[in-house]
């Protein structure tokens, strides 16, 4: 399944970049994150509870960042599984300077899902993912403006 979108943030690119590679900021802003631990350079283990339609449960797995090109782009690899099934995907995040000091974030990813979440809830997955991304960026934005 392909996921893509964009978000405009009223914050400088560098500030956003710092947040987007900060495990504490990610853990604090991504809905449902229960645990996020750094296990290596740009490598994290993560546990996260997500509900997609009727399928709700905890996924645990790995997140790694690659091809870091501060403050412009990085690649993200995720791999997680749990009772609701499994998720495996690759995404690309790009930060571009926008008008009036804003930053335009664009993301695109290809995610493979399986198990109950794949067969029962896949129709709803796109919408849920988009909502979670929105929540995540708006939380990051608040963190930057508040702190």
Say if residues 142 and 131 touch (Cβ distance below 8 Å).
no
Residue 115 interacts with other proteins (CB under 8 A)? Answer: yes
Burial of 40 (0-12, 13-18, 19+ CB in 10 A): exposed
Q: How far is the CB of 108 from other proteins (least distance, A)?
A: 18
Of the candidate spans 2-10, 11-19, 22-30, 81-89, the one that interacts with other proteins by CB under 8 A turns out to be 81-89
Residue 114 interacts with other proteins (CB under 8 A)? Answer: yes
Q: Give the dihedral of Cα atoms 37, 39, 42, 46; nearest 10 deg.
A: -40
Of the candidate spans 8-16, 26-34, 36-44, 110-118, the one that interacts with other proteins by CB under 8 A turns out to be 110-118
Instruction: Give the whole-angstrom CA distance, residue 12 versus residue 7.
Output: 13
**What residues line the site for other proteins (CB under 8 A)?**
1, 81, 83, 85-86, 88, 112-116, 118-120, 122-123
């Amino acid at each position: 399944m392909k996921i893509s979108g964009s978000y405009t943030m009223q914050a400088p690119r560098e500030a956003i970049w710092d947040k987007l590679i900060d495990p504490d900021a990610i853990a604090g802003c991504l809905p449902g994150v229960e645990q996020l631990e750094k296990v290596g350079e740009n490598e994290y283990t993560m546990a996260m509870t997500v509900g997609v339609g009727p399928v709700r449960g905890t996924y645990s797995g790995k997140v790694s960042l690659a091809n870091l090109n501060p403050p412009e782009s990085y690649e993200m690899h995720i791999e997680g599984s749990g009772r609701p099934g499994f998720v495996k995907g690759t995404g690309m995040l790009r930060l571009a300077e926008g008008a009036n000091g804003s930053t335009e974030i664009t993301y695109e990813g290809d995610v493979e899902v399986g198990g109950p979440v794949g067969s029962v809830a896949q129709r709803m997955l796109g919408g849920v993912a988009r909502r979670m991304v929105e929540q995540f960026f708006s939380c990051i934005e608040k963190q930057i403006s508040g702190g």
